[in-house]
Amino acid sequence: MPHLVLLYSPDVERDVNVGSLCRALADCMLEQRDEAGKAVFPIGGTRVLAYPAAHAAVADGQGDYGFLYANLRMGAGRSQVVHKQVGDNLMQVLREHLDSLLAQRPVGVTLQIDESPGQVFDAKHSSLHPLFNKTI
Domain regions of the chain by residue span: 3-133
Model confidence pLDDT, tens digit, residues 11-36: 999 999 999 999 999 999 999 999 99
Cα dihedral 85/20/133/84 (nearest 10):
10
**Residues 30-87 pLDDT 10s:** 999 999 999 999 999 999 999 999 999 999 999 899 999 999 999 888 999 999 999 9
- Could you please state the CATH topology (level 3) that the domain comprising 3-133 is classified under: Macrophage Migration Inhibitory Factor (3.30.429)
Instruction: Check if the beta carbon of residue 45 is closer than 8 Å to that of residue 129.
Output: yes
Which pTM does this prediction carry? 0.88
